[in-house]
Chain A
Amino acid sequence: MNNGMIRFVLSWILRLEGLLMFLPCVIALVFREEEGWVYLILAGIAVAAGVFLSKRPDNMEIYQKEGFVAVGLSWVLLSCYGAIPFVITKEIPNFLNALFEIVSGFTTTGASILSDVEVISHTSLFWRSFSHWIGGMGVLVFILMLLPMGSGGSHMNLMRAESPGPEVTKFVPRVRTTARLLYKIYLGLTIIELCLLLITRMNWFDALCITFGTAGTGGFGVLNSSCGAYTSVQQWIITVFMLAFGVNIGFYYLMLTRKASEAFKMEEVRTYLLIVVAAVALISWNVFRSYDGMGHTVRDAAFQVASIITTTGFSTTDFDLWPSFSRTILLTLMMIGACAGSTGGGIKVSRVLIMVKEIKEEIRSLLHPRSIRKMRMDGHVVQDQTMRSIMAYLVAYFVLFWVSFMIISFDGFSIETNFSAVAATLNNIGPGLDAVGPTQNYLAYGAVSKAVLIFDMLAGRLELLPIFVLLYPGTWKRH
């Protein structure tokens, strides 16, 4: 394995994280909070260490194996270093809790161990929310724009390991240009949302944090009531943008470059929107009686559906009080997740869609055993290799789900709590049901369970395999 290059990539991650940590310092300056010093010093150390360690290796090549290992380790490093400020400022004194919080941030989960976020300093709240924004599009993708590397394959091997979805799609031939485009679109959407929220008179700090949470499909709020305290217009804006960030970024690229009609032909996006509409309708119908009017019902239902399917995890109401049917729908949406190539988590609509198609093909081939068929997505034949990797992903997904479910059940919570806790972390959503519902948090879980959930969050964000690769003994063999 090319250890030199992995070290090189990691040193850049550290340097980048250091640079990003300067932003909370600015917030600290505005609110005159002492916590800023901690961030300033840690930022300085990270940059210095990053520069110090970034000696160019002779071999700048990243092969597939190095790509996966580099991505896996980068996220571990990012999380561990990112947790330190919480510990030093004593806002979350326990390192494991702090790690849980920041992993939840970077993986855009939004699951918290804090019972009262309103006592936390603005600086730390900002860092927490900002981590969503960084983690949403991916740090490695960001670094791809800066880092010199061996041949072109190296870029691709890094990108493949970090991008959500069954296959990496490039919009343009070069990875670097693609990465730049991704970030441009991401930044553009972020700025639009921020402006809209500011126009509707949201407090600028809230607007900033909520925008970061929406963009990364994270879900950390700055108020204990999450998004419940905002006006209905603001809630609608957030709803629309949550849905927007759950759409494959390729969709926007098509919108910007070619015809919009082509963009709306993307099967995944259509299915995604269809699921959203259906879920909103069903939930509205189901909870209508407990609300005072149609407008409020649809608003809450739409907000919650958008929040869950895009794996954001904001809430405007305690959906744990909803009837079973609605809660089951939400649980299902948790698993499905957003579109591939978006910032959201979950199994991804495209995988679900391909699986459903596969079932259809299987039934057909039972009826006409000799017929030969190829499954298509957006008019292109789905390759066997893609099919196989989706299968492997699903098996790995359910195995990990089950193992985590078993381990955390020792802590004595209800099955509903445990099941939704694993679903909410593995799919990067945040709040689950019952004891981990939107008004509750994960503090009560034991250390082992928290470690498992942290692992689930990382595995979920990186689509399982890059994290599994780190644990597989064969990876570390010399030959």
Chain B
Amino acid sequence: MQIIIVGLGKVGRTLVGQLSEENHNIVVVDMDPERIRNVSTRFDVMGVLGNGTSYSVLQDADLEHTDILIAVTESDEVNLLCCVIAKRKGNCHTIARLRNPVYSEERHFLRSELQLSMTINQDLEAAREVARLLRFPSAIEIDSFSRDRIDLLRFKVPDDYKWLGHPLKEITPHVRQNILVCVADRGGEITIPNGDYVIEKGDILTIIAMPLEAERFFYDIGVKTNKVKNVMIIGGGSMAYYLIKILLKSGVDVKLIERDRKRCEELVEAFPDAMITCGDGSDQNLLREERLDSMDALVACTGIDEVNAILSKYAQGKVRKKIITKLNHIEFDEVIESLVLDSVVEPKYLTAQRILQYVRAMANSMDSNVETLYRLMNNRVEALEFLIRPKSRILGIKLADMRIKSNTLIAGIVRDDKLIIPGGQDYFKEDDSVIVVTTNLGFEDISDIIETEF
């Protein structure tokens, strides 16, 4: 694919490195000649010097033949403008990094009105990652899916699960949550289970669920989620802002230490339920006073990596369950590994990974009606996202009346940005995104899921 990357900061560079390895044609645009030179000596990419919001610069970068434009400059506005211009003049997908919380609140509007394919907020991304780490133990693997609206969770069925030996359709009425088992892995044999699937010891199941419901589901079935009940956050930056928001929503007690008085006041205004302390988080006395040793978890997310690392080391043995360290520079990953930190979160790296995931999904779905295509379980399962177009022949048919191919599952319908776990009475509407999980590889259109009649 032909890709333009605007902005060669850390995210930009990570993307260039990965994508050029994956055989995409890449043009980089930046205002700094030094950065362009560095990148174009290290990778086989074309550099264009100039402002990415200028049409003529984008033209130099061959916008006409571009499939994706990724705008990851420092400035949100530049990123947005880049994408708008690219969308207007070239027929490409656009991805913008937006950091200002104002924009990320409005991302649905931005996506639909400015026709952005994807917006990404690195602080939000990091906050989500932290929340996920706090919520689930490592025994549960999580794949984020369909532009982050859905999580796919993979876990091993516990040995003492009371429904062992029962088929799924018997269990379903007893499960209070809105979840769906998508893929079952029994000793390497992959199936897409239907109602008759019998759960056995050692099965590894992949379920689709909204994040909060998943948590309750795991609690019900007896998988220890090891959930933390209270968290101390040090440093009140934008990542902390999003994190508090997520944590409060899921009922976790939050204690935050921030040095800047004004910022503290802003946070208090936003979150009356959180406990905000104004003080130096690297002051041992303060930490003792705030009873660090009685906390379940610590999140060190000040702006300085060294402080975060030292705080995390200090907290080891004091905090009961989890320590999360935010780091901005992980170039010296061997050094970081040797520190034996509990969990490390790296916002820019995460952002780059997310964008990569999206680009890969796009590359997979080129030349077909598939919106995005993910390959799971060593490429043996495909999860496809289709957009229901007007006049589709399966519009308005109840799922119960459709003859769907075996080993194919309609895992979710995303309507107005909300996930619906479909039942027999549901049907497709125009502009729905439908997620199909299947082991029949190579679907090209939503109508391919229906059994062809003889």
Which residue from chain A places its CB closest to the CB of B21 in the assembled complex? Answer: A151
Q: Are A172 and B33 in contact (CB under 8 A)?
A: no
- Would B46 and A152 count as touching, CB distance under 8 A? no
Interface residues of B in 19-42 (CB under 8 A from A): 20-21, 25-27, 33, 37, 40-42
B51 in the interface (beta carbon within 8 A)? no
Query: How many Å from the CB of A163 to the closest CB on chain B?
Result: 14
Determine if B41 and A383 form an interchain contact, defined as CB atoms under 8 angstroms apart: no
Contact with B along A139-180 (1 / 0, CB 8 A): 000000000000111011100000000000010111111000
Q: B44 contacts the other chain (Cβ, under 8 Å)?
A: yes
Do residues A156 and B25 form an inter-chain contact, with CB atoms below 8 A? no
- Counting contact residues on chain A (CB < 8 A from B), the size range is 10 to 19
- The reply to whether A173 and B25 form a contact with Cβ atoms under 8 Å apart is yes
Residues of B within 8 A of A172 (CB): 25, 46, 62
A64 within 8 A of B: yes
A174 to B42 CA separation, bound complex (whole angstroms) = 13
Interface residues of chain B: helix, strand, loop or mixed (majority) = mixed
A174 adjacent to B43 (CB under 8 Å): no
Contact with A along B367-406 (1 / 0, CB 8 A): 0000000000000000000000000000000000000000
CB-based contact B49/A153 at 8 Å: no
CB <8 Å contact, A152 and B43: yes
B336 CB, min distance to chain A CBs, angstroms = 24
Cross-chain contact A151 with B43 (CB below 8 angstroms): yes
Q: Which residues of B contact A174 (CB under 8 A)?
A: 25, 44
B residues less than 8 Å from A153 (CB atoms): 41-44
List A contacts of B225 (CB < 8 A): none
Shortest CB–CB separation between residue B398 and chain A, in angstroms? Answer: 49
Residue in B27, B43, B44 whose Cβ sees the most chain A Cβ within 10 Å: B44
Shortest A215–chain B CB gap in Å is 26
Is A380's beta carbon under 8 Å from chain B? Answer: yes
The answer on a CB contact under 8 Å between B41 and A157 is: yes
For B46, list chain A residues within 8 Å (CB).
170, 172-173
On chain A, the residues within 8 Å of B37 by CB distance are: 385
Chain A residues whose CB sits within 8 angstroms of the CB of B41 once the complex forms: 64, 153, 156-157
Contact A173 B27 (CB under 8 A): yes
Say yes or no: A173 contacts B42, CB within 8 Å.
no
Q: Complex: how many Å from CA A244 to CA B42?
A: 34
Write the A296-337 contact mask toward B (1 if CB under 8 angstroms, else 0).
Answer: 000000000000000000000000000000000000000000
The residues of A that contact B230 with a CB separation of less than 8 Å are none
CB-based contact B44/A173 at 8 Å: yes
* Interchain nearest-CB distance for B27 vs A (Å): 5
What 1/0 flags go to B5-24 for Cβ under 8 Å of A? 00000000000000011000
Say whether, besides A152-B20, A380-B49, A385-B37, A177 and B42 are in contact (CB < 8 Å): no
Q: Is B353 an interface residue (CB 8 A)?
A: no
Inter-subunit contact B33/A385 (CB<8 Å)? yes
Bound complex: CA of A175 vs CA of B42, how far in Å?
12
Find chain A residues with CB under 8 A from B33 CB. 383, 385
Give complex CA distance A170, B36 in Å: 13
Given contacts A380-B49, A383-B33, A385-B37, A151 and B44 within 8 Å (CB-CB): yes
Q: Is B2 at the interface (CB under 8 A from chain A)?
A: yes
On whether the beta carbons of B49 and A173 are closer than 8 Å, the reply is: no
Q: In angstroms, how far is the closest chain A Cβ from the Cβ of B21? A: 8
Contact partners of B21 in chain A: CB under 8 A:
151
Query: Shortest Cβ distance from B410 into chain A, in angstroms?
Result: 39
Encode contact with B along A168-201: 1 for CB under 8 Å, 0 otherwise. 0010111111000000000000000000000000
Q: Given A151-B20, A151-B42, A153-B44, 20 more contacts at CB 8 Å?
A: A64-B41, A151-B44, A152-B20, A152-B43, A152-B44, A153-B41, A153-B43, A155-B44, A156-B40, A170-B46, A172-B25, A172-B62, A173-B25, A173-B44, A173-B46, A175-B44, A380-B49, A380-B50, A381-B49, A385-B37
Chain B interfacial positions (CB closer than 8 Å to A) = 2, 20-21, 25-27, 33, 37, 40-46, 49-50, 62
A-B contact list, 13 entries, CB within 8 Å: A151-B20, A151-B21, A151-B43, A152-B42, A152-B44, A153-B42, A153-B44, A173-B25, A173-B26, A175-B44, A176-B44, A380-B49, A385-B33
Binding site for B on A (CB under 8 A): 64, 151-153, 155-157, 170, 172-177, 380-381, 383, 385
Q: Give me the 8 closest cross-chain CB pairs, A-B, nearest first.
A: A152-B44, A173-B25, A173-B46, A152-B43, A153-B42, A170-B46, A383-B33, A173-B26
